[in-house]
Amino acid sequence: MTARPEPTNRTIRCRPAVPSPTPGPYPSGPGPGDPSTILWAYHSHTHEWRDVNAGLIGPIIIGRRGAFGPDGTPHDVDREFVTLFGVFDENESRYTPDNLRTYTGDTLRTNDRGQILFPPAGMTTINGLTFGTLPVESLTMRLGERVRWYLFGATTANDFHSPHWHGGTVLIDQKRTDLVNLAVPLMMVTADMVADAPGIWMFHCHVAEHMASGMTSRFQILDEAPSTP
């Protein structure tokens, strides 16, 4: 048996079903100028509109070979966060008919083309939550920690976003900024931060209409040193 060439990248949390046919990096892995790990988004194409509104969208973290420790955390950061900026309309979800029947006893009103006659109910969300209801504990770090943020947008015509941190800056493509360009749907960005300002800070989309309709959250930097393993 001939040994298969080792790729220079590997995936975690989702390995490719078919090995890379040639030596070299997997096509979805970090490029030469990228951080050691990057975000790749998955989402359903079966019925994209209904499936994404049912929540079938999420992150895959892909790193260079050797980038990860045994627990799947990259060696060169202390903490990782994933944030999805998305406009979702659960009335369009595949689960809506069953949920209506189960929880309200109601049935769907549809037109002669089978389309559901509900008014659009798009919610502007960060990780599915809106108007600051994303728990701050889910975006909490300690002073001095090296933190990697993975950010991406959902798939509607309104999914153009500019995530913005108060109280911190990040490095993206070796440039320092406090704003991320998610200018087209499903854009994916990886950003590195060093937590240097203790407190609870705003983290929100800077598109004014999105911010006013709820695309806001908080993150927290605790005034205590990183825990040692």
What is the amino acid identity at position 146? R
Chain residues that interact with Cu ion, rule: CB under 5 A: 161, 205, 207, 210
CB of 172 to Cu ion, least distance (A): 17
Between 26 and 160, name the residue whose CB sits nearer to Cu ion. Answer: 160
CB of 168 to Cu ion, least distance (A): 19
Contact 30, 37 (CB under 8 A): yes
Euclidean distance between CA atoms 61 and 12, whole angstroms? 7
Between 147 and 207, name the residue whose CB sits nearer to Cu ion. Answer: 207
- 67: burial class by Cβ within 10 Å (0-12, 13-18, 19+)? buried
Contact 189, 151 (CB under 8 A): yes
167, 183, 170: which is closest to 222 by C-alpha? 167
Between 79 and 161, name the residue whose CB sits nearer to Cu ion. Answer: 161
Between 38 and 154, name the residue whose CB sits nearer to Cu ion. Answer: 154
CB of 154 to Cu ion, least distance (A): 10
Between 86 and 167, name the residue whose CB sits nearer to Cu ion. Answer: 86
**Residue 117 CA: distances (Å) to CA of 81, 95, 114:** 37, 15, 9
150, 134, 191, 136: which is closest to 168 by C-alpha? 191
CB of 40 to Cu ion, least distance (A): 21
Contact 189, 159 (CB under 8 A): no
Between 10 and 161, name the residue whose CB sits nearer to Cu ion. Answer: 161
CB of 178 to Cu ion, least distance (A): 15
CB of 134 to Cu ion, least distance (A): 14
Euclidean distance between CA atoms 190 and 132, whole angstroms? 23
